[in-house]
Amino acid sequence: MFLFIFHKVSYTSTCVCLSDKREFPTFSRTIPSDFFQAKAFAQLVKHFGWTWIGAIQAENEYGIFGVQSFTKEVLKYGVCIAFTENILSSYSRAAVLQIAETIKRTGVKVILAFASEDDLYPLMQEIVSQNITGIQWLGSEDWVTAARPSTVEIFKSFGGTIGFATRKMAIPEFKDFLLNIRPSLDSANNLNNAFWEHIFECTLRLKEESFQKNVSETKSRICTGEERLDEIENALFDVSQLRVTYIVQKAVYAVAHALHDLLFCKKEENKTIRLCGDIARIEPWQVTEHIKRVNFVNRFGEAVYFDENGDPPAAYDIINWQLNKGVVSHVTVGHFDTSPDGGIQLVVDEDNIVWSTGREVSKISELDRTFFTV
């Protein structure tokens, strides 16, 4: 684990600022920079011909850098930014009301919200409370697939939202790993124990002397440690749509490949792999150099590498909020990808998009489309 101190490979940090190698020379990531997300939004705006857009940004690096990058991109296509408003979860209701008033006063029909779920949620509640509808919301990856706002109540104003989320992947064998987790009855501070108690809503009897204390404090039933995970219905065990987990896996494999290349070499005569490095003598700069050179195709057919800024290729799913049988679903309606040569690809399945109007795109006339290009 000490190697991570020398070179950090992040799976959650998306700020554009981290691409500055003068300030962060030993930083890489397997989650795309928000620079690419902003570029993806700009391509989406260009694709649909929207020309007058509002922007709401979290008043932090995530929101500010994201909207700045987006604005720089869309100005190339003649898009006008009607307003840029700041939001944070700590804002007073008066500040939230002011943003709602700006939205109503300008009459903007397309708004990009580049913020986290926590920061945006109070505004979402206010917009629903005031019954502000008919807006095509564009959602950044930090909130577009979040569970809390994905309710029928919020959907009244945010139905049809379109946004980008990191690529999802199915990892079937991960379920076997989860189902093989077992509690440790000898340790009171064990991650497996916390997982077990959470899943089965019970308290493990860890030590005889603390048994009565645990029961009286939690007033919950006692775990036997023999409960069966394969009998539990929990979204945790759905390994068919993993986003963050997949990014974590890519980070782990990137470090593993770097260490393998550093410690092992190929004997040319018989092309066998042999250990030719000493793990006890690894220098931090060596790890950094090998991580920079990582380049492989994983078992899912995706290339894993870092560019000169420590950024990976961008791979996003396009998400559309749709209501299916009374449940808000995050439906994939396209994707955005970048390539090593700087190329980009935006693919949109327009026939499957449901807009804020509730109508499918195939039923929207050209006259109706001008509603989004005021």
Express each pLDDT in 310-333 by its tens digit: 999 999 999 999 999 899 999 999
pLDDT at 216: 47
Question: In the predicted model, is pLDDT for residue 213 greater than 60?
Answer: no
Phi, psi of 56 (to 5 degrees): -120, 125
- Tell me the average pLDDT across 255-260: 92
Stretch 337-347: mean pLDDT:
91
pLDDT exceeds cutoff 70 at 260: yes
pLDDT at 14 over 70: yes
Q: What is the pLDDT of residue 239?
A: 84
The per-residue pLDDT for 359 is: 58
Angle, vertex CA 177, rays to CA 172 and CA 183, nearest 5 = 150
- pLDDT, tens digit, for every residue of 134-184? 999 999 999 999 999 999 999 999 999 999 999 988 888 888 888 888 887
Q: Which of 169, 113, 99, 160 is nearest to 141 (CA)?
A: 113
Confidence of residue 186 (pLDDT cuts 50, 70, 90): low
Count CB neighbours of 144 within 10 A.
25
pLDDT band at 241 (very low <50, low <70, confident <90, very high): confident
pLDDT of residue 366: 37
Contacts of 275 (CB under 8 A, 6+ apart): 263, 264
Query: Among 11-20, 42-51, 228-237, 310-319, which is the least confidently predicted range?
Result: 228-237
Residue 249 has pLDDT above 90, yes or no: yes
Proportion of the chain above pLDDT 90, given as a percent: 61
Q: Does the pTM exceed 0.75?
A: yes
| pLDDT above 90 for 188 | no
Residue 257 tokens, joined: 């490949």
Q: Which among 157-171, 196-210, 271-285 has the top mean pLDDT?
A: 157-171
Structure tokens at 162: 């379109």
For residue 130, the model assigns a pLDDT of 97
- Can you give the residue ranges of every domain in the chain? 34-169+313-352, 174-237, 240-305
For 148, residues 6+ apart whose C-beta sits below 8 A from its C-beta are 117, 121
Report pLDDT for 230: 86
Q: Mean pLDDT throughout 231-257? A: 88
Given a cut of 60, is residue 245 above it in pLDDT? yes
Specify burial of residue 95 (Cβ count, 10 A radius: 0-12, 13-18, 19+): middle
Q: Do 40 and 69 touch, CB atoms closer than 8 A?
A: no
| 250 band by pLDDT with thresholds 50, 70 and 90 | very high
In this prediction, residue 269 carries a pLDDT of 60
The mean predicted confidence, pLDDT, of the chain is 86
Q: What is the pLDDT of residue 365?
A: 35
CATH class of 34-169+313-352: alpha beta
- Segment 22-43 shows an average pLDDT of 95
What lies within 8 Å, CB to CB, of 236 at 6+ separation is: 178, 199
**Cα 19 to the center of its chain, rounded Å:** 18
**Token pair listed for 148:** 């809390």
Q: How far is CA 154 from CA 124, 126, 129, 303, 354, in A?
A: 7, 10, 9, 37, 16
Q: What is the 3-state secondary structure (H, E, C) of the chain?
A: CCHHHHCEEECCCCCHHHHCCCCCCCEEECCCCHHHHHHHHHHHHHHHCCCEEEEEEECCHHHHHHHHHHHHHHHHHCCEEEEEEEECCCCCHHHHHHHHHHHHHHCCCEEEEECCHHHHHHHHHHHHHCCCCCCEEEECCCCCCCCCCCCHHHHHHHCCCEEEEECCECCHHHHHHHHCCCCCCCCCCCHHHHHHHHHHCCEECCCHHHHHHHHHHHCCCEECCCCCHHHCCCHHHCCCCECHHHHHHHHHHHHHHHHHHHHEEEECCCCEEEECCCHHHCCHHHHHHHHHCCEEECCCCCEEECCCCCCCCCEEEEEEEEEECCEEEEEEEEEEEECCCCCEEEEECHHHCECCCCCEHHHCCHHHHHHHCC
Q: Looking at 45-54, 66-75, 100-109, 267-276, which range is the least confident one? A: 267-276
If we measure between CA atoms, which residue out of 181, 158, 187 comes closest to residue 236? 181
* Type of residue numbered 205: R
Looking at residue 57, what is its pLDDT?
97
Using CA atoms, how far apart are residues 15 and 167, in angstroms rounded to an integer?
18
